[in-house]
A = this chain, B = another copy of it.
Amino acid sequence: MNVQEAVKPRDKDESQSERFDRIYSTLRDRICLLAYRPGTILSEVVLAEEFGISRTPIKRVFNKLEFMGLVQIKNGVGTIVTDIDLLTFKETYDLRKRLAAMMGELSPVEITPAHLARIDRILAETEMLRTDRGNFDALAFVANDLQQLLLDLTGNTPLREVTELLYYRVARIWYTFLPQFGWDIVYEGQLKEVRDIRAAMVVNDILGVGQVRSVDLQRMMTLLGRTMVDA
């Protein structure tokens, strides 16, 4: 589970594009799971040595990470893991909330047994975490699985791409807020969301799935707003 150790010995048969994908995924996960926290300066040279390659392909990966909004490349300074200002954060959640509601409206997909199996597993994993108080990392992992499932239930391709883009931009920032909300509120909220989404899925109500997600994103914003006022 430790993303820092995700670098396997080089496979001699690995093609250039496969290696690129592997390194990109590795660095993206490190950023999204906060192994590289916002503000961290990433070094092309250090990473090139870690992966046993030159700076060139690392630069390509950095470029893609910048497009995804995960790092900012500053000439003469370095490549910095992005933070996000509160206004942009709120605006992004506003938009994500609207997009979630569209999931079932634009090019809806049929819910298959495979999809149901996945939500069942996600629900089971969530329930197992009930007694694991304070394990926000594990909760974030499950939330990530849920997001992947919802992406697969999004039939409209551009909508799926945009949803994914916005998710990766802000999800990790959201994770940093979790501890101050307290375990009970966070856990019960996520458990309820998974149950509601599952309930909508079993009756093939893809529109309802999107609405549950939309309501939950609204709940997150409300939670955040309340905390900000308290502080």
Binding site for B on A (CB under 8 A): 16-17, 60, 63-64, 67, 75, 88, 91-92, 94-95, 98, 102, 106-107, 156-159, 162, 165-166, 169
Q: Contact check: which of B60, B98, B106 meets A106 at CB < 8 Å?
A: B98
With a cutoff of 8 Å between Cβ atoms, the chain B residues found around residue A60 in the complex are: 63
Most chain B beta carbons < 10 A, residue from A91, A95, A156, A169: A95
Nearest to A155 among chain B residues (CB) is B91
Please report the C-alpha to C-alpha distance between residue A17 and residue B64 in the assembled complex, in whole angstroms.
17
Please report the C-alpha to C-alpha distance between residue A78 and residue B169 in the assembled complex, in whole angstroms.
31
Please report the C-alpha to C-alpha distance between residue A162 and residue B98 in the assembled complex, in whole angstroms.
13
Please report the C-alpha to C-alpha distance between residue A159 and residue B99 in the assembled complex, in whole angstroms.
10
Please report the C-alpha to C-alpha distance between residue A144 and residue B107 in the assembled complex, in whole angstroms.
28
Known pairs A95-B159, A162-B162. 5 more at Cβ < 8 A?
Answer: A67-B67, A91-B156, A94-B156, A95-B156, A95-B162
What is the oligomeric copy number? 2
With a cutoff of 8 Å between Cβ atoms, the chain B residues found around residue A94 in the complex are: 106-107, 156
Q: Contact check: which of B102, B157, B165 meets A98 at CB < 8 Å?
A: B102
A77 to chain B, nearest CB (A): 12
A180 to chain B, nearest CB (A): 24
Q: Contact check: which of B95, B102, B158, B169 meets A166 at CB < 8 Å?
A: B158
Please report the C-alpha to C-alpha distance between residue A130 and residue B119 in the assembled complex, in whole angstroms.
57
Residue pair B88, A158 in contact (C-beta under 8 Å): yes
A111 to chain B, nearest CB (A): 19
Please report the C-alpha to C-alpha distance between residue A88 and residue B94 in the assembled complex, in whole angstroms.
25
Please report the C-alpha to C-alpha distance between residue A156 and residue B16 in the assembled complex, in whole angstroms.
38
Q: Contact check: which of B64, B95, B102 meets A67 at CB < 8 Å?
A: B64
A106 to chain B, nearest CB (A): 5
A181 to chain B, nearest CB (A): 23
Residue pair B158, A92 in contact (C-beta under 8 Å): yes
With a cutoff of 8 Å between Cβ atoms, the chain B residues found around residue A92 in the complex are: 158
Please report the C-alpha to C-alpha distance between residue A107 and residue B91 in the assembled complex, in whole angstroms.
8
Residue pair A91, B16 in contact (C-beta under 8 Å): no
8 pairs, CB–CB < 8 Å, chain A vs chain B: A60-B63, A63-B64, A64-B67, A91-B156, A91-B157, A91-B159, A95-B159, A98-B98
